[in-house]
Amino acid sequence: MVTARARDLRPFVLACVVAVASVGMLWLAVVHGWLGPDVGRGDRFCEAARDGDVLQPANTFSNAGFVLAGLAIGWRAGHPRTTIAANPRLASAYGVVVVLLGPASAAMHATQSALGGHLDLLSMYLVAGFASAYAVTRVLGRGTAFFAVLFIAAVGVCEVVERVPGHVPMVDIAANLAFGLLLLVALAGEAVLWRRGGASRQVGWGFASAGALALAFAIWNLAKDGSSFCQPQSLVQGHAAWHLLCAVAAYCLYRLYASERVSGAA
C-alpha cells in the first residue's frame, strides 16, 4: 500500500531561523547604531522621521509582511506536492530570500543610513534576480547550476548599475530600473512558459502576483514627497502599502511556481 509522504519541516525551520536571526540582528544594529548615521536614505517616501530608535515606524514595521510571506512559503515548501521544479532546495532558498526582504528594507526606513539603504537595494536584487533567473532557466530548459550562475550574474549586474549616478524618470535611480527590468524578465518568462504549454500551472497566481506588483508600483509613485497623497505625520503610509503588496506578490509568485506540473513528455 502506498502511503502519503509526510510534510518536510526543514524549509519552514530554515525560514524561521533566518527570520529570528535577521530580525534580531537588525534590532541590535538599530539600537546600537551599527548601520551608521542618518543620511536621509529613504526620506523621500513621505513619512517624517520621528524621535527614537525607529525613524519611520510605518514604513519600517510594514516590512513584517515580507517575513510572514517568507514563512508561509517555507511552510508550503515542505509539502510533497508544492516544491518548485521538484527541487526543495530552490523552494527553501526562495522562502529565505523573501524573509530577508523584511529586515533589509526595514534597515533603511528605521535608520535612514547609507548602509541600510544598500541592504534594502540588495534584498530587492536578490528576489528579482531569483525570479528572473528561475524563469529564464525554465524557458531554456537548463538545470540548477545554470540557474545559480544566472542568479549571481543578475545580482552582480544590479550592484554595478547601482553606482550609476543621475535621476531616472518614474523610478528615480538606476538601481530601481535594474530591479524593475529583472521583474519584467521574470514576468515575460512566465508568460512564455504559459503560452508554450508542456506543463500545467494555476495561472491565476501569476496574474495575482503581477496585479499586486502593478498596484504596488502605482502606490509607490503616489507615496513620495510632494504628492497630494503624502501625509508625513500619519501612520497610514502609501509606502507601507507598497511593502505589503510586494509581499503578497512574492507569495503569489511562489504559489505559481508550486502549482507547476510538468508532463512526462515535456
* Ordered per-residue pLDDT tens for the chain, 266 residues: 444 567 788 999 999 999 999 999 999 999 999 999 999 998 889 999 999 899 999 999 999 999 999 999 999 988 877 667 667 789 999 999 999 999 999 999 999 999 999 999 999 999 999 999 999 999 999 989 999 999 999 999 999 999 999 888 888 899 999 999 999 999 999 999 988 877 788 889 999 999 999 999 999 988 888 888 889 999 999 999 999 999 999 999 999 999 887 654 34
All three cell numbers of 19 = 527570520
Domain of 225, in residue numbers: 10-261
All three cell numbers of 83 = 516544491
**Residue 242 dihedral angles phi and psi, to the nearest 5°:** -55, -45
In-domain check, residue 4? no
In-domain check, residue 1? no
Alpha carbon distance 153, 191 (integer Å): 22
pLDDT for position 229: 86
The pTM score is: 0.92
In-domain check, residue 266? no
Q: Which residues have CB under 8 Å from 195's CB, separation 6+?
A: none
pLDDT for position 84: 77
Alpha carbon distance 7, 88 (integer Å): 12
Please count the structural domains in the chain.
1
In-domain check, residue 5? no
For the annotated binding site, the residues are: 109, 239, 243
pLDDT for position 266: 41
In-domain check, residue 36? yes
Alpha carbon distance 43, 50 (integer Å): 11
In-domain check, residue 232? yes
Identify the burial level of 180 via C-beta atoms within 10 angstroms of its C-beta, where 0-12 means exposed, 13-18 middle and 19 or more buried. middle
pLDDT for position 78: 83
pLDDT for position 201: 83
For the annotated binding site for Zn(2+), the residues are: 109, 239, 243
pLDDT for position 197: 77
